[in-house]
Chains A and B, each alone.
Chain A
Amino acid sequence: MSVASQPNSSSRGVTVEFQDIEKRYGVRYALRGVSLRIDAGECVALVGANGSGKTTLLRIAALLVRPTKGTVTFRAGSSAAPLAHLPGQQRIGMVAHNILLYDDLSAEENLELFAKLYGLDRPKERAAAALQPAGLINRRRDPVRDFSRGMRQRLAIARALLPAPGLLLFDEPATGLDPAGQHWLGDTLGQLHDTGCTILMSTHGASEAHSIVTRAVRLAAGNLAEDSAPSGDPQRILTAALAAEQGS
């Protein structure tokens, strides 16, 4: 896998290119020959039935899973040349199925820990600044294990946004969020999209986040089944996916 390093000065977004990605777990294929280029600043919705390979593709993009075959290339902004190496993955933010947070630490301690690991200055202030918009500032000293599902998801999103990432990978980010939380998520993604951040998110059901989607990609049984890019209508694929879910 080759990965990029510093952001383009004109855009903080990252271009991601998957080339002929195949991932096998034993004899079972999770992905089969997926090739996809996501340009800097795009907001791509990944749809498909359970087990279609959405999570695997996101984890490969996060460099958490090594593909069996194929490569992932990252470029800073719209720069043509893939950079030789990424000094860490500081520009990738991820919200996964699990919340990626420590239950025994408080909300503030969790964010402070990750701010320190990301090498951010004034980690305590950064943590407080991330908790405020997530609506968790008054619960900052409570252990995460005491949080409701929605609060945990808000905190997971706040953690992913902490390092001001150039690439955001969201695996069903609206899970567990109440209508106010979904509204906050939609606003937050909209603001990030405006700053040029590249967003790749898998989604199920209707979500306020769909309003900023610029492109939709459908996976089926590990294959790339449909792609609205570059000039197609992403809402058509999203609506069809939602109808398929409701029909099943």
Chain B
Amino acid sequence: MALARPTAILLSKELQTEFRTRELLTTTIVFVLMVLVLFSFTFDPTSIESRRFAPGLLWLTLLFAGSLMLHPSFTREQTNDTLAALRLAPIDPTAILAAKILANCCFLLVAEALLLPIFAALYNLHVLPVLGQFSVVLLLGTLALATIGTVFSAISSQARMRELLLPLLLLPVLTPALIASTEATAGLFDEQPYLSLQWVGLLAAFDAIFLTVTWLFGEYLLEE
């Protein structure tokens, strides 16, 4: 309860701010759309080719879009030093990180939900028969991206060269999650679709480990 209440209050603030400005959602959706359209024109893929490289393309695009979206997560708080105001409040500092992770996860999932039909149409993929299983993979992969991205956004926001630092930190750490998400997605778009429990299990374990680490050490990430 000590964590849930401030997290809910701060999540509501994050959503309120974003749906008022629409800065993060708009840029992310436009970026992902451009990349997907450009690649579809470049390769003009057949159904067989799509099954081979579309999962990797989708997750790489989401990774780059994520690093674009997650960067302002904490730099926004620097404009008026609002992070200091949040740290002055009698709340568990982990609530600040938890609210940001949840908000970023929501924004990425909204962007994915809007772009999924376009992705399926451009790459000639049959998403509907595996929609439920694909949603699980998307949710776990997006949670990994949001968790690591938010944590590194907090770290990099206090550094010089912060724009370069976030992707440099994000890409190596997210590699296992990226591979697991791509492999799990590839299985779903196979000729005989299947959900690879091995890769989904790895994704779930990755999420659990990094959420726990964030919960344990999150307080130190927010210090000046």
Contacts and interface: CB of A to CB of B under 8 A. Distances in A.
Interface of A: 59, 62-66, 87-90, 92-94, 96-105, 109, 113-114, 116-119, 159
B197 interface: no
Interface string B82-116: 10111111110000000000000000000000000
B149 interface: no
B88 A102 contact: no
A104 B21 contact: yes
B90 A90 contact: yes
Interface of B: 6, 9-10, 13, 16-17, 20-21, 79-82, 84-91, 223-224
Contact of A103 (B13, B79, B84, B89): B79
Contact of B90 (A66, A103, A113, A118): A118
Contact of A113 (B13, B81, B87): B13
A119 B80 contact: no
B9 A102 contact: no
A62 B9 CA distance: 23
A159 B85 contact: yes
B224 A101 contact: no
Contacts of A88: 89-91
A105 B17 contact: yes
Contacts of B84: 59, 62, 64, 94, 96, 98, 100
A119 B90 contact: yes
A153 to B, nearest CB: 12
Contacts of A103: 79-80
B224 A64 contact: yes
B13 A62 contact: no
B127 to A, nearest CB: 35
Given A66-B223, A92-B88, A101 B21 contact: no
Contacts of A117: 6, 9-10, 86, 89-91
